[in-house]
Amino acid sequence: MLDTEIAGIKMKNPLMLASGICDLTKESMERCSGAGAIVTKSVGTEERKGYTNPIFYDTGCGVLNAVGLANPGIEEYVKELQEIQVDNVIGSIFGGDAEEFGYLAQKFAPHVVALEMNLSCPHAKKVGAEYPVEEISPAIEAVKRAGKPVFAKLGMENIIDRAQAAVDAGVHGIVAINTVRAMAINIEMGMPVLGNRIGGYSGAAIKPIGVRCVYELASNFDVPVIGVGGITRAEDIIEYMMAGASAVQLGTALYYRGETVFEELCRDLVAWLEKHGYGHIREVVGVALKR
Protein backbone atom coordinates (compact mmCIF):
# COMPACT_ATOMS: atom_id res chain seq x y z
CA MET A 1 0.00 0.00 0.00
CA LEU A 2 2.97 2.33 0.53
CA ASP A 3 5.56 1.08 -1.98
CA THR A 4 6.82 3.97 -4.09
CA GLU A 5 9.08 4.44 -7.08
CA ILE A 6 10.86 7.67 -7.98
CA ALA A 7 13.30 7.99 -10.88
CA GLY A 8 13.58 4.20 -10.96
CA ILE A 9 14.36 3.95 -7.23
CA LYS A 10 12.10 1.41 -5.56
CA MET A 11 11.20 2.24 -1.95
CA LYS A 12 9.12 0.24 0.54
CA ASN A 13 7.43 3.49 1.56
CA PRO A 14 7.56 7.15 0.44
CA LEU A 15 9.40 8.34 3.57
CA MET A 16 13.03 9.44 3.44
CA LEU A 17 15.40 10.64 6.12
CA ALA A 18 16.16 14.31 5.27
CA SER A 19 19.75 15.45 4.85
CA GLY A 20 21.56 16.63 7.96
CA ILE A 21 19.76 14.69 10.68
CA CYS A 22 21.16 11.42 12.08
CA ASP A 23 23.17 10.85 8.92
CA LEU A 24 26.83 11.46 9.71
CA THR A 25 27.57 7.86 10.67
CA LYS A 26 26.67 4.40 9.38
CA GLU A 27 25.13 3.47 12.76
CA SER A 28 22.85 6.49 13.00
CA MET A 29 21.65 5.96 9.41
CA GLU A 30 20.96 2.28 10.08
CA ARG A 31 18.76 3.27 13.03
CA CYS A 32 16.51 4.93 10.43
CA SER A 33 16.14 1.79 8.31
CA GLY A 34 12.34 2.07 8.58
CA ALA A 35 12.59 4.81 5.92
CA GLY A 36 12.26 4.01 2.22
CA ALA A 37 15.49 5.93 1.60
CA ILE A 38 18.18 7.71 3.59
CA VAL A 39 19.65 11.01 2.42
CA THR A 40 23.19 11.55 3.66
CA LYS A 41 24.53 14.66 5.35
CA SER A 42 25.49 17.20 2.67
CA VAL A 43 29.10 16.48 1.84
CA GLY A 44 31.73 18.69 0.18
CA THR A 45 35.14 18.14 -1.38
CA GLU A 46 37.10 18.81 1.85
CA GLU A 47 36.47 18.53 5.59
CA ARG A 48 34.48 21.47 6.91
CA LYS A 49 34.28 22.28 10.64
CA GLY A 50 31.06 24.33 10.45
CA TYR A 51 30.08 27.29 12.59
CA THR A 52 30.85 27.99 16.25
CA ASN A 53 28.42 26.98 19.00
CA PRO A 54 25.58 27.35 19.69
CA ILE A 55 24.56 25.73 16.42
CA PHE A 56 21.12 24.45 17.49
CA TYR A 57 18.28 26.12 19.39
CA ASP A 58 14.75 24.93 20.15
CA THR A 59 12.59 28.06 19.90
CA GLY A 60 9.57 26.31 21.41
CA CYS A 61 7.77 26.59 18.07
CA GLY A 62 10.38 24.95 15.85
CA VAL A 63 14.10 24.55 15.72
CA LEU A 64 16.88 26.89 14.58
CA ASN A 65 20.17 25.47 13.35
CA ALA A 66 23.35 26.87 11.89
CA VAL A 67 25.55 23.80 11.70
CA GLY A 68 27.39 25.31 8.73
CA LEU A 69 27.56 22.15 6.59
CA ALA A 70 30.09 20.51 8.91
CA ASN A 71 31.23 17.24 7.30
CA PRO A 72 34.39 15.16 6.98
CA GLY A 73 34.80 15.60 3.20
CA ILE A 74 33.81 13.08 0.54
CA GLU A 75 36.84 10.75 0.81
CA GLU A 76 36.23 10.16 4.54
CA TYR A 77 32.45 10.17 4.34
CA VAL A 78 32.07 7.35 1.81
CA LYS A 79 33.77 5.02 4.32
CA GLU A 80 30.55 5.26 6.37
CA LEU A 81 28.65 3.72 3.47
CA GLN A 82 30.66 0.50 3.26
CA GLU A 83 28.27 -2.39 3.97
CA ILE A 84 25.57 -0.08 5.30
CA GLN A 85 22.32 -1.94 6.01
CA VAL A 86 19.64 0.40 4.65
CA ASP A 87 17.51 0.09 1.52
CA ASN A 88 18.50 3.15 -0.50
CA VAL A 89 21.19 5.74 0.18
CA ILE A 90 20.91 9.08 -1.60
CA GLY A 91 24.12 11.13 -1.53
CA SER A 92 23.68 14.82 -0.71
CA ILE A 93 26.36 17.14 -2.08
CA PHE A 94 27.14 20.87 -1.99
CA GLY A 95 29.66 22.75 -4.08
CA GLY A 96 30.88 26.14 -5.21
CA ASP A 97 30.74 25.42 -8.95
CA ALA A 98 29.87 22.79 -11.55
CA GLU A 99 33.34 21.26 -11.40
CA GLU A 100 33.10 20.63 -7.63
CA PHE A 101 29.59 19.21 -8.00
CA GLY A 102 30.77 16.92 -10.80
CA TYR A 103 33.74 15.70 -8.76
CA LEU A 104 31.57 14.92 -5.72
CA ALA A 105 29.03 13.08 -7.87
CA GLN A 106 31.72 10.83 -9.36
CA LYS A 107 33.08 10.03 -5.87
CA PHE A 108 29.63 9.31 -4.41
CA ALA A 109 28.13 7.44 -7.38
CA PRO A 110 29.45 3.91 -6.62
CA HIS A 111 27.91 4.07 -3.11
CA VAL A 112 24.47 5.61 -3.69
CA VAL A 113 21.27 5.12 -5.71
CA ALA A 114 20.87 8.84 -6.47
CA LEU A 115 22.41 12.25 -5.83
CA GLU A 116 20.72 15.18 -4.12
CA MET A 117 22.24 18.60 -4.83
CA ASN A 118 21.92 20.96 -1.90
CA LEU A 119 21.30 24.31 -3.61
CA SER A 120 19.45 25.81 -0.69
CA CYS A 121 21.19 25.95 2.72
CA PRO A 122 19.94 29.37 3.93
CA HIS A 123 23.11 30.27 5.85
CA ALA A 124 25.91 28.96 3.61
CA LYS A 125 26.20 31.72 1.00
CA LYS A 126 27.33 30.46 -2.44
CA VAL A 127 27.41 26.80 -1.43
CA GLY A 128 23.78 27.16 -0.38
CA ALA A 129 20.77 29.29 -1.20
CA GLU A 130 22.93 31.92 -2.91
CA TYR A 131 24.14 29.45 -5.53
CA PRO A 132 23.50 31.55 -8.67
CA VAL A 133 20.44 30.56 -10.68
CA GLU A 134 22.36 30.81 -13.97
CA GLU A 135 24.89 28.23 -12.68
CA ILE A 136 22.28 25.63 -11.70
CA SER A 137 21.88 24.02 -15.15
CA PRO A 138 25.64 23.50 -15.74
CA ALA A 139 26.02 22.05 -12.23
CA ILE A 140 23.18 19.59 -12.81
CA GLU A 141 24.66 18.55 -16.15
CA ALA A 142 27.99 17.89 -14.42
CA VAL A 143 26.31 15.75 -11.72
CA LYS A 144 24.26 13.81 -14.28
CA ARG A 145 27.50 12.61 -15.88
CA ALA A 146 27.96 10.32 -12.84
CA GLY A 147 25.10 8.23 -14.26
CA LYS A 148 22.71 8.36 -11.27
CA PRO A 149 19.32 10.07 -10.93
CA VAL A 150 19.79 13.66 -9.78
CA PHE A 151 17.52 15.58 -7.40
CA ALA A 152 17.85 19.34 -6.84
CA LYS A 153 17.04 20.49 -3.32
CA LEU A 154 15.62 24.01 -3.38
CA GLY A 155 14.58 26.45 -0.70
CA MET A 156 11.53 28.70 -0.63
CA GLU A 157 13.36 31.66 -2.20
CA ASN A 158 12.84 32.19 -5.92
CA ILE A 159 11.84 28.55 -6.17
CA ILE A 160 10.12 28.57 -9.56
CA ASP A 161 13.04 30.23 -11.43
CA ARG A 162 15.51 27.88 -9.76
CA ALA A 163 13.34 24.85 -10.50
CA GLN A 164 13.05 25.94 -14.14
CA ALA A 165 16.85 25.94 -14.42
CA ALA A 166 16.95 22.46 -12.88
CA VAL A 167 14.22 21.12 -15.17
CA ASP A 168 15.92 22.64 -18.23
CA ALA A 169 19.02 20.60 -17.36
CA GLY A 170 16.97 17.38 -17.12
CA VAL A 171 16.86 16.97 -13.34
CA HIS A 172 15.06 13.77 -12.20
CA GLY A 173 13.27 15.31 -9.25
CA ILE A 174 13.01 18.40 -7.05
CA VAL A 175 13.23 18.31 -3.28
CA ALA A 176 11.55 21.21 -1.47
CA ILE A 177 12.14 22.86 0.94
CA ASN A 178 15.26 23.45 3.01
CA THR A 179 15.14 25.30 6.32
CA VAL A 180 13.90 28.90 6.30
CA ARG A 181 16.42 31.71 7.02
CA ALA A 182 15.67 32.91 10.54
CA MET A 183 17.15 33.98 13.89
CA ALA A 184 16.50 34.33 17.61
CA ILE A 185 17.79 36.89 20.14
CA ASN A 186 18.77 36.12 23.72
CA ILE A 187 17.12 39.14 25.37
CA GLU A 188 19.00 38.76 28.69
CA MET A 189 22.33 39.03 26.90
CA GLY A 190 21.08 41.28 24.12
CA MET A 191 22.67 39.17 21.40
CA PRO A 192 21.78 36.57 18.79
CA VAL A 193 21.44 33.03 20.15
CA LEU A 194 23.25 31.21 17.35
CA GLY A 195 27.02 31.41 16.90
CA ASN A 196 26.43 32.29 13.24
CA ARG A 197 23.67 34.76 14.29
CA ILE A 198 21.43 33.61 11.41
CA GLY A 199 20.33 30.04 10.87
CA GLY A 200 17.64 27.86 9.33
CA TYR A 201 14.20 27.30 10.84
CA SER A 202 12.56 23.87 10.66
CA GLY A 203 9.75 21.85 12.20
CA ALA A 204 5.95 22.02 12.16
CA ALA A 205 5.82 25.81 11.74
CA ILE A 206 7.32 25.71 8.22
CA LYS A 207 4.95 23.06 6.87
CA PRO A 208 2.54 25.50 5.15
CA ILE A 209 5.51 27.08 3.34
CA GLY A 210 6.71 23.66 2.18
CA VAL A 211 3.24 22.62 1.08
CA ARG A 212 2.85 25.86 -0.92
CA CYS A 213 6.21 25.29 -2.64
CA VAL A 214 5.37 21.67 -3.50
CA TYR A 215 1.96 22.73 -4.87
CA GLU A 216 3.56 25.41 -7.08
CA LEU A 217 6.27 23.05 -8.30
CA ALA A 218 3.80 20.28 -9.11
CA SER A 219 1.54 22.80 -10.88
CA ASN A 220 4.35 24.12 -13.07
CA PHE A 221 6.61 21.16 -13.85
CA ASP A 222 6.32 17.56 -14.91
CA VAL A 223 9.03 16.10 -12.64
CA PRO A 224 8.59 14.23 -9.36
CA VAL A 225 8.56 16.48 -6.29
CA ILE A 226 9.77 15.32 -2.89
CA GLY A 227 8.21 17.36 -0.08
CA VAL A 228 10.05 18.27 3.11
CA GLY A 229 9.44 20.70 5.94
CA GLY A 230 7.57 20.26 9.18
CA ILE A 231 6.27 16.71 8.79
CA THR A 232 5.51 15.14 12.17
CA ARG A 233 2.27 13.19 11.60
CA ALA A 234 0.81 10.89 8.92
CA GLU A 235 -1.71 13.63 8.07
CA ASP A 236 1.19 15.95 7.19
CA ILE A 237 2.45 13.38 4.68
CA ILE A 238 -1.02 13.09 3.12
CA GLU A 239 -1.16 16.89 2.87
CA TYR A 240 2.20 17.10 1.07
CA MET A 241 1.20 14.29 -1.28
CA MET A 242 -2.17 15.83 -2.08
CA ALA A 243 -0.22 19.01 -2.95
CA GLY A 244 1.73 16.95 -5.50
CA ALA A 245 4.65 15.31 -3.67
CA SER A 246 5.48 11.73 -4.73
CA ALA A 247 7.56 11.18 -1.60
CA VAL A 248 8.53 13.11 1.53
CA GLN A 249 11.48 13.63 3.84
CA LEU A 250 11.60 14.02 7.61
CA GLY A 251 14.23 15.89 9.60
CA THR A 252 13.21 17.71 12.77
CA ALA A 253 10.58 15.04 13.55
CA LEU A 254 13.46 12.76 14.57
CA TYR A 255 14.50 15.27 17.23
CA TYR A 256 10.99 15.18 18.70
CA ARG A 257 9.99 11.55 18.05
CA GLY A 258 13.18 9.49 17.57
CA GLU A 259 14.12 7.14 14.75
CA THR A 260 11.08 4.88 15.20
CA VAL A 261 9.02 7.70 13.67
CA PHE A 262 9.31 6.05 10.25
CA GLU A 263 7.63 2.79 11.31
CA GLU A 264 5.03 4.68 13.36
CA LEU A 265 4.09 7.02 10.53
CA CYS A 266 3.84 4.13 8.04
CA ARG A 267 1.39 2.38 10.37
CA ASP A 268 -0.63 5.58 10.73
CA LEU A 269 -0.55 6.17 6.97
CA VAL A 270 -2.01 2.73 6.21
CA ALA A 271 -4.74 3.28 8.81
CA TRP A 272 -5.56 6.72 7.31
CA LEU A 273 -5.69 5.37 3.75
CA GLU A 274 -7.94 2.46 4.73
CA LYS A 275 -10.26 4.71 6.71
CA HIS A 276 -10.60 7.10 3.75
CA GLY A 277 -11.10 4.40 1.10
CA TYR A 278 -7.78 4.66 -0.74
CA GLY A 279 -6.20 1.43 -2.05
CA HIS A 280 -2.65 2.79 -2.39
CA ILE A 281 -0.69 5.88 -1.36
CA ARG A 282 -0.13 6.85 -5.01
CA GLU A 283 -3.87 7.59 -5.33
CA VAL A 284 -3.39 10.55 -3.00
CA VAL A 285 -0.65 12.23 -5.06
CA GLY A 286 -1.83 15.50 -6.59
CA VAL A 287 -5.45 15.17 -5.42
CA ALA A 288 -5.55 18.85 -4.39
CA LEU A 289 -4.06 19.99 -7.73
CA LYS A 290 -7.23 18.93 -9.51
CA ARG A 291 -9.57 20.96 -7.29
Catalytic residues: 121
Complex with ligand FMN: residue 1 or 184, whichever CB lies closer: 184
d(CA 166, CA 174): 8
Residue 250 binds to ligand FMN (criterion: CB under 6 A) = yes
Instruction: List residues bridging with 38 in a β-sheet.
Output: 17, 89
Q: Tell me the residue number closest to ligand FMN, measured at CB.
A: 20
Residue 230 binds to ligand FMN (criterion: CB under 6 A) = yes
Describe the crossing of helices 234-242 and 261-275 by its angle, rounded to 10 degrees.
60
- Of 111-170, binders to ligand FMN (CB under 6 A) are 118, 153
d(CA 241, CA 247): 7
CB 261 to ligand FMN: min, Å: 10
Residue 223 identity: V
Residue 92 binds to ligand FMN (criterion: CB under 6 A) = yes
Tell me the CB-side half-sphere exposure of residue 65, using CA atoms within 13 A: 16
The answer to whether 232 and 253 are in contact (CB under 8 A) is: yes
- Of 15-74, binders to ligand FMN (CB under 6 A) are 18-21, 41-42, 63, 65, 67, 69
The single-letter DSSP state of residue 80 is: G
The answer to whether 67 and 57 are in contact (CB under 8 A) is: no
Instruction: List residues bridging with 71 in a β-sheet.
Output: 48
Complex with ligand FMN: residue 50 or 283, whichever CB lies closer: 50
Residue 202 binds to ligand FMN (criterion: CB under 6 A) = yes
- Phi, psi dihedral angles at 182 (to 5 degrees): -160, 170
CB 69 to ligand FMN: min, Å: 6
Complex with ligand FMN: residue 1 or 133, whichever CB lies closer: 133
Task: Indicate which single residue of 38, 89, 231, 234 sits in contact with ligand FMN (rule: CB under 6 A).
Answer: 231
Complex with ligand FMN: residue 66 or 113, whichever CB lies closer: 66
Instruction: List residues bridging with 48 in a β-sheet.
Output: 71
- 3 state DSSP class of 56: strand
The single-letter DSSP state of residue 110 is: G
Complex with ligand FMN: residue 258 or 276, whichever CB lies closer: 258
CB 68 to ligand FMN: min, Å: 9
Residue 178 binds to ligand FMN (criterion: CB under 6 A) = yes
- Region of 74-82, 163-171, 229-237, 282-290 interacting with ligand FMN (CB under 6 A): 229-237
What torsion do the CA atoms of 250, 251, 257, 258 make, to the nearest 10 degrees? 100
Question: Which residues sit at the interface with ligand FMN, rule CB under 6 A?
Answer: 18-21, 41-42, 63, 65, 67, 69, 92, 118, 153, 178-179, 202-203, 206, 228-231, 250-253
